[in-house]
Amino acid sequence: MKLEEFPEQAWQGVEILYTHKVLPGPDLAPDLKWIQFHRAGNEAFMDEPILRKPDLVASTMSGASAPQVAEYVLEMCLALGHRLPEIIAHQQKADWPAGRAEIFLPLELNQSTVGIVGYGSIGREVARLLQAFGATILATKHDVMHPSDPGYRIDGSGDPDGDYVNRLYPAQALNSMLKECDFAVVCVPLTRNTENLVGANQLDAMKPTAFLIDVSRGGVVNHEDLLKALEEGQIAGAALDVFPEEPLSKDDPLWRSPSVILTPHIAGVSRDYDQRAVTLFIENLNRYLDGKKPLNLIDLERGY
C-alpha cells in the first residue's frame, strides 16, 4: 500500500510501526516512537523527516537475510573459482577445448585468501561458512577496535566475537586488504561514504587472478571501472547481484562479459525470510516493552 491509501486518522495513537516502504510524516504520526523496517538495507529512507523525530528510534532487519546471502556468496566463490562460466560456455557450443585441464584449472577456496568488505551480519556468516574450506579470511570494519557484533544474529550463525577473521582492517586500508585477496566479497550498505567505494583504484590493487563478488547495493561498486578492469584483465571475473540501475539495461555490456555471473538482486531471497523477520521483530518488541533499545538501531550519521 501507499501512504495516501491510509486514512489520516489511522496514524493517531500509533506508537510502533512495522513497515516495508510506507513512512508517515512526523506531523501525521505524532505518537510514533519506534519504526521497525522489514529489510536490512534502507538507504532510500535515510532522508525521511520522520527519522529525525527527537524521541523516535528505527531499527533494521540486519541479520535476518544473512544465511541465504552468505550461501549465495559461497556459491559464487565456488562457481567463479572452478571456472563454471567458461565450462558452461563450452557446453553450449558442444565442444571441449584442447588443453582443458589448464584452461579450467580451478582456484580453490582451500588456502585461498578471501577479503570481506564490511564485516557485518552477512560478512560474519560468510566467514563462518568459509572455515570449513580452509580459507584465510580478511575483513574491513569501520571500528576495528571493537570486533564483536552487537546486532541481531540467528542462533548458531555468524561470528559474534570476531573469532573467524584472521586480520581486521580499518575501512581506510581497503586497498591494502584487496592486494592480498583471491576473492573479494562486497557487503557494505550504501551510504555517502561507501558510494563508489570500489572503483578503478581498488580494482587496480587486486590480483589479476582474483574475483569480485558484490552483494551490497548498487552504487558501491563503480560498474564503469569494473567493466574496464574486466576487459583489461585487471581481475579474473565477478559475480554481481546488485546494480546502479535495476533492472539492468538490456544493452549493458556486462551481459556479454564472459567472466561475469549476473543475478537479478536475489541473493537475499528465501522462503524462510518472513519467519526470520518475525522472529527478530518479536525479539525487538520484547526489548521495547522492557524499556530496552531494539537491536539493529539505525545511526543516521553513518547512514545505516
> What domain range includes position 119?
66-262
Q: Per residue in 154-212, pLDDT tens?
A: 999 999 999 999 999 999 999 999 999 999 999 999 999 999 999 999 999 999 999 99
Claim to verify: residue 23 and residue 97 sit in the same structural domain? no
Q: Is the pLDDT of residue 6 over 90?
A: no
What is the total count of domains within the chain? 2
Please check whether residue 54 is in contact with residue 26, taking contact to mean a CB–CB distance below 8 angstroms: no
- The residue behind cell 560478512 is 123
Query: Which backbone phi and psi does 186 adopt, to 5 degrees?
Result: -100, 120
132 in a structural domain: yes
Q: Does some domain include residue 301?
A: no
Cα dist. 9→24, 25, 30, 55, 166 in Å? 12, 13, 11, 21, 54
C-alpha cell at 126: 560468510
Q: Is residue 297 one of the residues assigned to a domain?
A: no
Q: Tell me 238's DSSP state.
A: E
Specify whether 233 is located in the same domain as 114: yes
Percent of the chain's residues with pLDDT above 90:
97
pLDDT tens digits for 77-91?
Answer: 999 999 999 999 999
Given a cut of 90, whether residue 1 has pLDDT beyond it is no
Q: Is residue 215 part of a domain?
A: yes
The label of the residue with cell 529525525 reads: 52
Q: What percent of the chain has pLDDT over 70?
A: 100
CATH number, position 124 = 3.40.50.720
- Quickly count: other Cβ atoms within 10 Å of residue 140's Cβ: 24
Q: Quick check: 197 and 166 in contact, CB under 8 A?
A: no
Q: Are residues 88 and 152 in the same domain?
A: yes
pLDDT digits (tens, 9 = 90+) for 214-271: 999 999 999 999 999 999 999 999 999 999 999 999 999 999 999 999 999 999 999 9
Residue 2: its pLDDT value, please? 86
pLDDT, one tens digit per residue, over 57-66 is 999 999 999 9
